[in-house]
Amino acid sequence: MTVLEDRIEMAESGDELTLDMMFEWLDTEVISRDTAANDYGPKKDTYAAAGVPAYLIVDPYTAEWHLHTLPKDGVYHAVVGFPFGEEIDLTGTSVGLVLRTDEFPRD
């Protein structure tokens, strides 16, 4: 998550947004081979059931990110995914920033 944290710090540029504030709205997982099944399955469902507004999965094995939103009845009802290099636009959300993904880790 170092790259993500660096991007957030760069995007803040004086704003009062903190990592804690961001992660209240957006949970982020950088998967590993050992956690992939859980991150894409039960953990995603748990966050949806808890009403976490957005769940971002960063997958270094496929070099893609997946943003799950619109939680209702324990399920995220919207998902968008793109390859690394495509920005994640969160400007219309309480996070209020754009995350660059071109330097996300790849395996």
Q: All domains of the chain, ordered by start, with CATH?
A: 2-99 (3.90.1570.10)
For residue 89, give every residue at least 6 positions away whose Cβ sits within 8 Å of its Cβ, in sequence order, or none. 98
* Cα–Cα distance for residue pair 41/43, rounded to 1 Å: 6
Q: Mapping DSSP to helix (H, G, I), strand (E, B) and coil, where does residue 1 land? A: coil
pLDDT score, position 16: 46
Token readout for 99 is 């995350």
Burial of 43 (0-12, 13-18, 19+ CB in 10 A): middle
Digitized pLDDT (tens) for each residue of the chain, 107 residues in all: 434 454 445 444 544 444 444 445 577 888 999 999 999 999 999 989 988 888 899 999 999 999 998 899 999 999 999 999 999 888 776 667 788 888 888 88
